[in-house]
Structures are given as structure tokens and as C-alpha cells.
Structure 1
């Protein structure tokens, strides 16, 4: 599976409005009747990024099928120590 940020051409720090704007732009540019594979990839990428909570979880805890539990824990520790999560996102998790 390809990176949804690359498929949509947005920065991982992009907000909901920017992700949606880019999604709509790409859907208009690549209609399903003309480019069904590209359209499907765009829809799948947007599906992964449209929910901010799911987006945050996938950024904090990406899983690779070949990772061991120790490797996953070490990677999570490294990411959490260096991660800067916007206050708005943290507060939305409490709701």
C-alpha cells in the first residue's frame, strides 16, 4: 500500500481542510470513468486521512508486517519522544 500523503500530494502536517481540498481537486482531475485505478487510489488515500483520530493513530503507530514486538516498541518510543502533537488534536481525543 502506498503512502496516502504521497498519493494526495499533501504534507503530513496538513489539516483537514487542506486534505479535503486536495482530494476534491484530484477527484475532478482523475474521474473514475477515465482513470479508475488512479481514482481508487485517491479515494483509498482520502479514506485513510479524513478522520483526524485515525490519521493520528496511524502516524504514531504504523505497523509493518515483518516487525517484531521489540522493534515496534522501540520505534513507538522513538516517535513519541520526538513527536509534537498539536494541542487541538490532543484536546479532540478527550471528547
Structure 2
């Protein structure tokens, strides 16, 4: 797969002004109503460069590990609240069930 720079026909060290100029030139060359696939590729390349990323569409759908950490005190508080909310007596459980 070609890089966003290759799709727009510019050098990797191009300035933002050059990137925008090349983008508009490519849009004139490949209008959306006659070249929809090329238009989408040009738009994706410009978005990637504008955001400062060289990520591709395939990279978007790759799984990324989820990292989360919680303070032990917060976990203890949540555990206590959940336990208190779940504790009911047998009489109330029977009444709610039937």
C-alpha cells in the first residue's frame, strides 16, 4: 500500500501549505462523482497527513490493548457498594421473583 505522501505526489518533508496545495490539485484531477475510489484514497491520505499521522485504514481496525488502572481504595468502595446493593433477604427475593 502506498503512503499518504505518494498518494498526494509530494515529498515526505513537504510543508502543510504544500500538502494542502497537492490535495486540492488531486481533487481537481479526480473529482468525487467520476472517481469515487480515488477521491476516498486522496481524502484519507490528506486526513492522515493533516493529523500528523501515517496511520492507514487497516491500522484503524487493529486491536489495541486496553490499559486501565484503579486505585485500591476506589475498588474497595465500589465492591462495598455493589455488595450492599445485592444483599437482600430470602423473603424479599421470593416476593420479587413470584
Shorter-chain TM-score range:
0.5 to 0.7
CA RMSD of aligned residues (A): 2.2
Consecutive unaligned residues of structure 1, counting only runs of 5 or more, are 66-95
User: Number of residues paired by the alignment?
Assistant: 57
Query: How big is the shift at 1:43?
Result: 0.1
Runs of 4+ in 1 over 2 A off after TM superposition: none
In the alignment, the residues of structure 2 paired with residue 2 and residue 32 of structure 1 have an alpha-carbon distance, to the nearest angstrom, of 20
State the partner residue of 2:26: 26
**1:45 has 2:45 as partner:** yes
Aligned to 2:13: 13
Q: Output the CA distance in 2 between the equivalents of 1:37 and 1:2.
A: 14
Verify: 1:36 aligned to 2:36, yes or no. Answer: yes
> Where do 5+ consecutive residues of structure 2 fail to align?
63-98
Other structure's SS at 2:34 match: coil
CA distance in structure 2 between the partners assigned to 1:9 and 1:29 by the alignment: 12
Mapped partners of 1:18, 1:7: distance in 2: 14
TM-score normalised over the length of structure 1: 0.53
